A = this chain, B = another copy of it.
Amino acid sequence: MHVLLTNDDGINAQGIQALWKAIAEIATVTVVAPDVERSATSQAITVHHPIRVDRHCIENPAICAWRIGGTPTDCVKIALEALLPAAPDIVVSGINHGPNLGTDVLYSGTVSAAIEAAMHRLPAIAVSLDNGNPFEFETAAQFTRRLLLEMPHHSLPPNTLLNVNIPSLQGDKIQGVAITKLGVRRYENTFERRQDPRGRIYYWMGGQVADEEDDPATDVTAIKNGKISITPIHFDLTNYGIIQEVRNWNLSFN
C-alpha cells in the first residue's frame, strides 16, 4: 500500500510525525506537507504566488519528505500532478491538532486536503484529534492504522471520503466507534478591536464554541461521549430537494 500523507499543521507538527511512524509499519508513505502551520485555510489554493518545494529529511526514522510553501490543498495537487511518479492508493490528512466536527469541516485545511484527493478520485481520510492535555496522538495514530488495514476490503461511492475524529484519550479509555453525520457547531467569533501604536484599527478573531446540539447521531455527540467518530462526507453541495420549487419562481429575464 502506498499512502500519501499531508496535514495543515505543517511538516514538523507532532500529529503528522506520529502518524507517519505508525503508517510506515504497514505501508510505503510519501509525505508532502506544508512548511508551516496552515490551519483554517479551507480549500484555498495558491495561484497568485509561486509555490516553493524542497526536500526535508528527519533522522528517526531516516526518511525524507516534500516540504511545500503552500496550503494543504496545494500539497495534494502538486503531489498528484507533479511530484509522485504514480498515484498513491490512499491519501491521509492529519493528525490534526484539535477536532474537525460539524460545520468546522468547511474551514479545515486538513479536511479540504482529503476532499481534494477525493476530487482526484482517490480514497481519502482526514484524521483529527480532539483537544487534550496531553494530546493522545498515539491513540489516533493506532486507530488510523487500523482503519487503513480495513479500507481495502470496502469501496466507497465516488466523491466520498471519511472524516475521522478521535477523542484525546488513551486507547483503553475509548468508548467505541460511531459512524455519524456532521453536527452543527456554532461559534461566537468575539472579534476584539484594538489600536496599533500609530492609531490604526485592527481586530483579532477570537472564537469560542457557543452552542452544540445534542443529536445522538452526530460527530459532535460521539466525541463528547468518548467515541471515535467516522463521518462519510462528499463534496456535492447541490440541495436537490429544493430545485423544483425554485423553478416556480418568477425569474424571467428579458
- A145 vs chain B, min Cβ distance (A): 11
Flag if B50 contacts A39 (CB, 8 Å): no
- A106 vs chain B, min Cβ distance (A): 5
Flag if B171 contacts A247 (CB, 8 Å): no
Q: Which of B46, B194, B252 contacts A177 (CB 8 A)?
A: B252
Bound complex: CA A69 to CA B39 (Å):
18
Name A221-254 residues within 8 Å CB distance of B: 228, 230-243, 245-247, 249-254
Contact A182-B236, Cβ < 8 Å, known A40-B44, A47-B207, A201-B54? yes
Would you call the interface of chain A mostly helix, strand, loop, or mixed? mixed
| Residues of chain A at interface, number, CB under 8 A | 87
Contact A237-B234, Cβ < 8 Å, known A51-B202, A253-B228? yes
Bound complex: CA A63 to CA B46 (Å):
33
Which residues of the partner chain B approach A235 to less than 8 Å between Cβ atoms?
A: 103, 106, 237
Bound complex: CA A176 to CA B37 (Å):
46
Report A77-113 CB contacts with B as 1/0, cut-off 8 Å.
1100110000000000000000000010111000010
Asked if A64 is at the interface (CB within 8 A of a chain B CB), the reply is no
Closest chain B residue, CB of each to CB of A115: B106
Bound complex: CA A82 to CA B201 (Å):
13
Flag if A40 contacts B51 (CB, 8 Å): no
Flag if B54 contacts A205 (CB, 8 Å): no
Flag if B203 contacts A53 (CB, 8 Å): yes
Contact A191-B82, Cβ < 8 Å, known A47-B207, A177-B252? yes
Bound complex: CA A231 to CA B37 (Å):
34
Asked if A25 is at the interface (CB within 8 A of a chain B CB), the reply is no
Bound complex: CA A51 to CA B250 (Å):
41
Closest chain B residue, CB of each to CB of A171: B254
Which residues of the partner chain B approach A207 to less than 8 Å between Cβ atoms?
A: 47
Closest chain B residue, CB of each to CB of A235: B106
Please, could you name 5 A-B residue pairs with CB atoms under 8 Å apart, sorted by A?
Answer: A42-B42, A43-B107, A53-B202, A54-B201, A228-B253
